[in-house]
């Protein structure tokens, strides 16, 4: 029996995609190589924040399952690849999962199928990396099957913009491939935007995330400079943010984290290096971003010194380990970098995060937040999770460094 959609890689991107398509009435099956993911989804326990347990159980009741058998691909009308694209040991693109997934698809590809890559990667990936693998068994893209790239724009934890109301960019290997891809996504996305080709669609995704990366670096650089000049950066940001045109607000922080914003510019830089080009703005942003954890350690040390304490031997309580507020994801989290630097300098690091729970890299979290706040020589609020009672943090901490700029009170030390 055929299925409308097989999602290859059922993670942060793949599971919400499967849910959106199934909710719109498509028959969907997942294919994932991880037994842990298959087991968890099989038990109706979502492992990503944007799909609830009730939603997943409803999907399961409608026939949604995740299999480890790639033969399911032979039943698909459309295959969407959503596997990870991380960094290799040299800090460059690691496309191993994309290659493996494409090989699995290739072995079971039927004529007439639409294959879409959603994983983020550099321009040329769909055409130069994925297409040759898919064509290994004799079928030709654009003739025997359709091939397209469509970047995922999901913002985990965002309640306002989800898959349906976030415009979807698609780039086809041929105009007909693009047309088929538009028809597919139009079944559950309101607006589909057609790129000139797969490379433009790939580059659009990298531009979007590099835009965030560069602007966060800019605001972080201005924050450090405001500190040098004795200016209140939060007031500066508030004032600049009132301009109704030509200025988009970004907030300072401990450095970017998550699976996309710190990683995607590396794909762009690697592509530029291989093309013999230099992207100076992106490189400068990278330099600013990598210096932010050290800057926070310096600010923490300054607070302790002013209180007559040294960093070595002091207890530092870090609040928030997730890479951003409201998500349980600690991938590339700047807090982990801050914790490592503090520990290397002899501080006793403790931590708390109401959303992630225990983080294996950091050992067990504090169990009683109020007493941990009272015990710590200094507390650093790094992530403004909704679960934090900010006034209570200010009341109970001996010294508080607020990286989020949200804790009220004159006694609070802000970034």
Ligand X SMILES: NC(=O)c1ccc[n+]([C@@H]2O[C@H](COP(=O)([O-])OP(=O)(O)OC[C@H]3O[C@@H](n4cnc5c(N)ncnc54)[C@H](O)[C@@H]3O)[C@@H](O)[C@H]2O)c1
Residues assigned a catalytic role: 260
Residues 6+ apart with CB under 8 A from 359: 321, 330, 336, 351, 353, 365
| Contact pick of 3, 19, 64, 84 for ligand X (by CB under 6 A) | 84
Complex with ligand X: residue 204 or 309, whichever CB lies closer: 204
Q: Which residues, other chains included, contact 110 with Cβ-Cβ below 8 Å and sequence gap of 6+?
A: 74, 76, 145
Does position 33 bind ligand X by CB under 6 A?
Answer: yes
| Contact between 382 and ligand X per CB under 6 A | no
CB of 119 to ligand X, least distance (A): 3
Q: Residue 187 Cβ, how far from ligand X at the closest point, in Å?
A: 20
Candidates 3, 19, 51, 97: give the one binding ligand X (CB under 6 A). Answer: 97
What's the rounded Cα separation, in Å, for the pair 242 and 181? 40
Residue 33 CB, nearest approach to ligand X (Å): 4
Residue from 312, 5, 296, 260 nearest 153 by CA: 260
> Which listed residue (173, 199, 259, 352) binds ligand X by CB under 6 A?
259
The helix (run of H) or strand (run of E) holding residue 287 is: helix 280-306
Neighbours of 39 (CB within 10 A): 12
156 binds ligand X (CB under 6 A): yes
- Eight-class DSSP state of 408: -
Residue nearest to ligand X (CB): 11
Tokens matching residue 362: 């950091």
Per CB under 6 A, which region of 4-12, 240-248, 355-363, 399-407 contacts ligand X?
A: 4-12
- Can you tell me which of 177, 216, 260, 339 binds ligand X, judged by CB under 6 A? 260
Binding ligand X by CB under 6 A: which of 23, 24, 26, 34?
Answer: 34
Residue 189 within binding range of ligand X, rule CB under 6 A: no
Q: CB neighbours of 236 closer than 8 A, spacing ≥ 6?
A: 222, 226
List the one residue from 8, 203, 282, 372 that touches ligand X (CB under 6 A): 8
Does residue 289 come out as left (phi exceeding 0), alpha (psi in the -120 to 50 range) or beta? alpha
Q: Which residues bind ligand X (CB under 6 A)?
A: 8-14, 31-34, 37, 82-85, 97, 100-101, 104, 118-120, 152, 154, 156, 259-260
């Amino acid at each position: 029996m055929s299925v409308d959609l097989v999602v290859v890689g059922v993670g942060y991107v793949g599971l919400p995609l499967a849910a959106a398509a199934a909710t719109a009435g498509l028959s969907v099956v997942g294919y994932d190589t991880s037994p842990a993911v298959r087991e968890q989804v099989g038990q109706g326990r979502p492992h990503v924040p944007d799909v609830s347990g009730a939603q997943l159980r409803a999907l399961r009741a409608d026939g949604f399952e995740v299999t480890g058998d790639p033969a399911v691909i032979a039943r698909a009308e459309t295959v969407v690849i959503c596997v990870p694209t991380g960094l290799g040991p040299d800090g460059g693109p690691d496309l191993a999962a994309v290659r493996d997934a494409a090989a699995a698809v290739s072995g079971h590809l039927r004529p007439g199928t639409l294959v879409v890559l959603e994983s983020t990667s550099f321009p040329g990936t769909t055409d130069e990396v994925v297409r040759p693998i898919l064509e290994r068994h004799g079928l030709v893209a654009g003739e025997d099957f359709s091939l397209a790239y469509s970047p995922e724009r999901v913002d985990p934890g965002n309640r306002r913009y989800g898959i349906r109301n976030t415009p979807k960019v698609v780039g086809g290997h041929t105009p007909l491939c693009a047309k088929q891809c538009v028809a597919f996504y139009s079944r559950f996305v309101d607006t589909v935007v057609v790129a000139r080709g797969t490379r433009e669609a790939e580059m659009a995704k990298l531009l979007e995330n590099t835009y965030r990366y560069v602007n966060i670096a800019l605001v972080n650089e201005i924050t450090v400079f405001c500190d040098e000049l004795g200016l209140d950066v939060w007031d500066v940001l508030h004032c600049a943010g009132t301009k109704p045109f030509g200025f988009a607000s970004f907030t300072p922080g401990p450095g970017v984290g998550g699976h996309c914003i710190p990683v995607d510019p590396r794909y762009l830089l690697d592509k530029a290096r291989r093309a013999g080009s230099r992207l100076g703005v992106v490189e400068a942003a990278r330099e600013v971003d990598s210096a932010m954890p050290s800057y926070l350690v310096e600010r923490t040390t300054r607070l302790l010194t002013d209180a007559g304490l040294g960093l070595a031997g002091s207890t530092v309580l870090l609040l928030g380990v997730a890479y951003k507020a409201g998500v349980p994801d600690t991938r590339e989290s700047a807090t982990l970098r801050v914790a490592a630097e503090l520990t290397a300098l002899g501080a006793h690091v403790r931590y708390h995060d109401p959303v992630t729970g225990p983080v294996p890299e950091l050992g067990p979290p504090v169990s009683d937040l109020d007493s941990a706040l009272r015990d710590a020589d200094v507390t650093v609020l790094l992530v403004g999770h909704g679960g934090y009672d900010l006034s209570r943090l200010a009341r109970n901490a001996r010294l508080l460094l607020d990286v989020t700029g949200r804790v009220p009170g004159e006694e609070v030390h802000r970034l």
